[in-house]
Amino acid sequence: MAMKFLLLAGTLLGAAPALAQQSAPGSPTDRSQQSAETAPDDSRDGEIVVTGTRLGERTVTTSPVPIDLLRGDDLRASGYQETTEVLRQLAPSFAFATPTTPDGNTHIHSASLRGLSPDETLVLVNGKRLHTAAWVNTGGTIGKGAVPTDLNQIPAAGIGRIEILRDGASSQYGSDAIAGVINILLREDTALHATASAGSTYDGGGDTYEFSLGGGLKLGDDGFVNVTGYYRDHEAANRARPDTRQFYLGTSPTGTPQPLSARYGAGIGLNPPGGVAGTRLDPREASVDRNVWRFADEGDLKDASVIVNLEKPLGAVELYGFGGYRVSKAHSNASFRRPGQDENVRAIYPDGFLPFVNTRSTDYSAALGLRGEVAGWKWDLSTVYGGNSIEYRTENTLNATLGTASPTRFYNGKYENSQWTSDLTLSRAFEVGLAAPLSFAVGAEYRRDDYKIGAGEPASYAYGPERVLDGPNAGAVPTIGSQGFAGIQPGDVVDVHRHAIGLFAELGTELVRGWEIDLSGRYEDYSDFGDTWNGQASTRIVLPAGFALRGSVGTGFHAPALAQQYFSSTSSRTIVNNSTGFPEFVLVRTAPVGSALAQALGAEPLRPEKSTNWGGGLTYAGGELTASVDYYHIDIDDRIVLSSNYVDAPGSRRLRDYLASIGIPGVTSVRYFTNAVDTRTQGVDVTVAYRARLGDSADLRLSAAYNHNETRIRRIAATPLEITALGITTPLFDINERTRVQYGQPQNKVALGANLRLGAITFDVRATRYGEVEQVALTNQSVANLALIAAGSTPYRTVPTESGAAGNVDVIQRLKAKWVTDFSFTGQVNPHLAVTVGANNLFNVYPTENIRSTPALTGADTFGAFPYSEFSPFGFSGAFYYVRAGVRF
C-alpha cells in the first residue's frame, strides 16, 4: 500500500491522463445518462482496445504501445461538447491553438498529438480511415501547410469511446500515422438519450446552445442500430478593443485631402495624422464608434450532424456499417477597412466596413462491411466513402475596382475532396509451441483520393474599370476583388485524383510467458509519387509486483496530400511602376509545385515525409492504482511546409522581369509547398489514476497527466539557386515559420483531475497547466524600439533580424504558462434524469497579452485592437458557465 501512495504522490507532482480517461464507467457522471440496467462493469483496465493491432484482444495495461482510453460517458460529462475541445482537456499530448482567421479555421481546429503537424495524426472511425478536410491551412497559424481531419464532424453525443494510440503506426494503417492514431468508436447502445445545455461567458458573448437526441433499436436478438443527432448554436465572444487609429482623411490648411496617418498604433490626439504640417482631422474622429472589430477564438457557428452505427449477424457472416452527415455554417470576419482607405468606396461605406466571410463546411461518410470466419481464418471486407466541401461567400464588402456599382455580397468559390477506401484483412492464430499461439494477419487496401477547386463569381475577382474615386489618391487603382476573401479565379481551378494500393502483414506472440513481441510491415504504392516500405516492432515484458516494460521502434510516412500538391491561389493588386509613374496590375501567387511558375523558382515534386520512431516505458497496474511513464523520439525527414513568400528586393524588378521573360508576366510574389525541413521531436508522457471506494454509495477518483515535448529543426533546405540568383535573400523557411514549428505549442502540459461521488451528487474538478508558447511579435526592430519594448512587462527574447537592417533584431514574445480550472456539480434527480451546473475556466484566466504598438513604437497594425495571440493553447474567451440536463431511458 505504501508503494501505491508513493507512486501516486510522485506522479501527482509531475502529473497523467485526465479524469475522463480513467474514471470508471460506474461513476455518477456515467449514471447521469444511464439507467441501472445499462451501467457497465467498473473495470476500466480490463476493457478491450482495438487500436494498433489486428491480432486480437488486448487492454490498455497489456498493450506494448501507449493507448489512452476515453469512454463516451466521460466525454459527455465534460463541460465541452465539441470533440476537439474535450480531447484538449482530457488527453495529455493532444493540443490545438485558437486561430481567428476567416477561413477553414472557423470549422476545423488544427489539432495535433505530441506537438506535430495535424496531418501527421491519423483519424479512424470504427477502425476505418476518416477523410481529411478539403481545406489546406495556408494562414499564419499552428498547423500551417497541413491538410487536417475535422474531429468535430463526430459529436461527443454519438461516441462510444475514443482510443488514442500515442505511437507511430504507419506499418498498420498507412499514411499519416506518424504521431499516432485517434480511433473514434461509435455508440452501440440501444437506450433513448437526450441532452440540452446552455451557457455563456463571464465577460459577455459566447452564448452557446446544444441539443442532442439519439437512441437505438435491436435488430433481432443479436444486432443493433444506433442513431444520434446533434445541433449546436454558438455566438462569438468578441474580445476586440477599440481601434484608435485615424479613420477619416484629413485636410491641409488649404482644404486639400491628406492621407491617413502612416503610424501604426497611432491614437487620435497621440500622434499627428499623415500629410503636411498643419493637417486637420475630420470632425467625425471625435464621435465615431471605434468598436469596429470582432476578435474571437471561434466565430458564429451553427452545426448540425447525424451519426449512424449498425451491426447485424447474417448467418455465418456479420454485416456492419456506419456513416454520418454534418453541415457547419460559420460567420467570421476579416480586417476592418477604415473610411479613408483606398480599399473603400466611400459612397457605399462612408464610415468604413468590416467584411464578413460566411463558410459552409459539409462532411459526409458511409461505410459498409462484412466479416466472418472460413476454415479457421477470420476475414473482414469493407469499403468507406467520405468527403468534405467548403464553400465561401462574403458580405458587407465590395470590389473597389467596380466602384459604386460593386455588389456587397459575393460567391467566392469552393474546395472539395473525397476519399474512397476498400480493404480486406485475414487473420488466424497458429499453435507453434511457444507460450502463446502465433497470431498472424495479412491484408490489402485500395484508396482513391479526389480534389477540386471551383471558381467564384466573376465580380469576386474582377479587375474592374473604376479607380479610387476621391481623396488624395484619386485615380489610383484600388485593391482588386472582394475585400476580406478574394474570389477564386478560373486559373486556380483544379480537378485531380490519385490512387494507392497497400499490402500489409502483422504477427505477434509470447516467446516465453510474460514476453510479448509484435512485428508489422506495410508496402504502399501511390500513382503520383511512387512507393514506400514501413515496418514496426514492439514488445512488452511483464515484471514482478504489477510492473511491465514496453517499447517499440518503427518507420512511418505522410504522403503529400493532393491539396498540398495542387492548391492554387491568386490575388490581384496594383503597384506604381517607378519607371512610368503609372499603376501596374500584378499577381500574388501560391503556386502548385508542378506549375511552370513554381518550377521556374526551384520547386521540386513533393516527396513523402518519412519518420523513424522509437520509445519505451514502464507501466504499473495493481489494485486501484495504474500508472505509466513513456519516452518517445520521432525523427521526421522532408517535412512538407509552405515556403516563405518570395518578392523582389526593394527597388528591384528582377523577379517580375525574369518571370515575364519566360511567359509568366505580372507576378510579384510567389510561394509554394516544399520538403523544406527535417525535425526531431522528443518527449515524455506520464499517466496515473487512483480510485478509493468510500462506502457503498461514495467513491473518489484521482487522475493526472504530464506531457513534455520538444521539437527542434535538424535541417533547413537551402534557398533554391533560381531565387538567390535574382538577388532575393529571404530564406526558404523564415523566422516566423521556424518559431511556429519549434515553439508555437506548449512544451509541457499538466492535467489533474478529481471526481467525488456522494450518493446522488457528483463533484468533478480538473486543472490543466498549459506551458509556455512563443510567437514572433515584431521584426526588424531598432535598438531604440527594443528599449521601449523592454519597458513593458511581457517576457521576450531577440534574434538578429534576417529581413531588415544590420544591427536590428526580431522580437520573439513568450506567452506565459497558465493554469485553467474546470468545475462541475451533477445531481441525479431520478434514475433517468441528471442536471449538471458547471464552469469551464472557472477563474476567468486569459493568456498573456500581445506586445502592441504605441505612438512611439511602430508595431503590428492590429495588436492594439487584438489583445491576445492566436497561438494561445486554451483560447481567450475567459470563463464559460453552463447548465445541462440529460435523460436516458
User: What is the C-alpha to C-alpha distance for residues 310 and 218, in angstroms, rounded to an integer?
Assistant: 10
Which of 77-91, 172-186, 724-738 has the highest average model confidence (pLDDT)?
172-186
Of the candidates 520, 515, 511, the one whose C-alpha atom is nearest the C-alpha of residue 548 is: 515
Of the candidates 742, 751, 735, the one whose C-alpha atom is nearest the C-alpha of residue 773 is: 742
User: What is the C-alpha to C-alpha distance for residues 80 and 156, in angstroms, rounded to an integer?
Assistant: 9
Query: Domain check: are 800 and 823 in the same one?
Result: no
State the pLDDT at residue 502: 96
256 within domain boundaries: no
Which of 68-82, 95-109, 497-511 has the highest average model confidence (pLDDT)?
497-511
State the pLDDT at residue 44: 45
Least confident window among 253-267, 296-310, 832-846: 253-267
Q: What sign for the dihedral angle of Cα 123, 618, 743, 817?
A: positive
More confident residue, 1 or 306: 306
Query: Domain check: are 827 and 799 in the same one?
Result: no
State the pLDDT at residue 85: 84
State the pLDDT at residue 788: 76
Average pLDDT over residues 735-747: 92
Query: Domain check: are 476 and 572 in the same one?
Result: yes
Q: Is the pLDDT of residue 271 over 70?
A: no
Q: Extract the C-alpha cell encoding 798.
A: 531577440
Mean pLDDT over the full length of the chain: 86
Average pLDDT over residues 266-282: 62
251 within domain boundaries: no
554 within domain boundaries: yes
Average pLDDT over residues 164-173: 92
State the pLDDT at residue 19: 28
Query: Do the Cβ atoms of 166 and 67 come closer than 8 Å?
Result: yes
User: What is the C-alpha to C-alpha distance for residues 307 and 310, in angstroms, rounded to an integer?
Assistant: 10
User: What is the C-alpha to C-alpha distance for residues 550 and 558, in angstroms, rounded to an integer?
Assistant: 25
Report the percentage of the chain scoring pLDDT > 70: 87
Q: What amino acid is encoded at 529 in this protein?
A: F
596 within domain boundaries: yes
Report the percentage of the chain scoring pLDDT > 90: 60
User: What is the C-alpha to C-alpha distance for residues 845 and 877, in angstroms, rounded to an integer?
Assistant: 9
Query: Domain check: are 621 and 656 in the same one?
Result: yes
State the pLDDT at residue 489: 92
Query: Domain check: are 698 and 644 in the same one?
Result: yes
Query: Domain check: are 569 and 636 in the same one?
Result: yes
State the pLDDT at residue 107: 75
Helix ranges (H only) for 496-637 are: 562-566, 596-600
Interval 613-669: pLDDT, tens = 999 999 999 888 999 999 999 999 999 999 988 888 777 889 988 998 998 888 888
User: What is the C-alpha to C-alpha distance for residues 348 and 341, in angstroms, rounded to an integer?
Assistant: 13
Interval 10-65: pLDDT, tens = 333 333 333 233 333 333 333 333 332 233 334 444 566 667 666 666 667 778 88
Average pLDDT over residues 772-794: 82
Q: Is the pLDDT of residue 714 over 80?
A: yes
Q: What sign for the dihedral angle of Cα 124, 129, 130, 133?
A: positive
274 within domain boundaries: no
267 within domain boundaries: no
State the pLDDT at residue 460: 95
629 within domain boundaries: yes
Q: Is the pLDDT of residue 597 over 60?
A: yes
Q: Is the pLDDT of residue 526 over 80?
A: yes
Q: Is the pLDDT of residue 864 over 90?
A: no
Neighbours of 154 (CB within 10 A): 24
User: What is the C-alpha to C-alpha distance for residues 296 and 354, in angstroms, rounded to an integer?
Assistant: 14
Query: Domain check: are 683 and 785 in the same one?
Result: no
More confident residue, 770 or 96: 770
Average pLDDT over residues 799-816: 87
Query: Domain check: are 330 and 427 in the same one?
Result: yes
Q: In sequence order, which residues have a C-beta less than 8 Å from that of residue 814 and are 6 or more positions away?
A: 772, 773, 774, 794, 795, 796, 797, 848
Interval 439-470: pLDDT, tens = 999 999 999 999 999 999 999 999 899 988 88
427 within domain boundaries: yes
Of the candidates 494, 640, 493, the one whose C-alpha atom is nearest the C-alpha of residue 561 is: 640
Average pLDDT over residues 751-764: 93
Interval 204-216: pLDDT, tens = 999 999 999 999 9
Query: Domain check: are 77 and 197 in the same one?
Result: yes
Last residue of a domain, one of 794, 815, 836: 815
Average pLDDT over residues 486-507: 95
Query: Do the Cβ atoms of 397 and 355 come closer than 8 Å?
Result: yes
845-850-855-856 Cα dihedral, nearest 10 degrees = 120
What φ, ψ does residue 563 adopt, rounded to 5°?
Answer: -65, -35
Query: Domain check: are 800 and 824 in the same one?
Result: no
DSSP string, 676-739: EEEEEEEEEEEEEEEEEE-STTEEEEEEEEEEEEEEEEEEEPPPPHHHHTTT----SS-HHHHH
Query: Domain check: are 732 and 789 in the same one?
Result: no
Degrees (nearest 5) of the Cα angle 472, 475, 480? 105
Q: Is the pLDDT of residue 867 over 60?
A: yes
Interval 350-371: pLDDT, tens = 999 999 999 999 999 999 999 9
Of the candidates 128, 133, 130, the one whose C-alpha atom is nearest the C-alpha of residue 146 is: 133
Indicate the pairing of strand 377-395 with strand 409-430.
Answer: antiparallel
Q: What is the CATH number of the domain that holds 647?
A: 2.40.170.20
State the pLDDT at residue 865: 78
**Total domains, the chain:** 2
What φ, ψ does residue 397 adopt, rounded to 5°?
Answer: -145, -170
Coil, helix or strand at residue 3 = helix
Q: Which domain holds residue 150?
A: 2-243+291-772+816-888
State the pLDDT at residue 802: 81
Query: Domain check: are 114 and 237 in the same one?
Result: yes
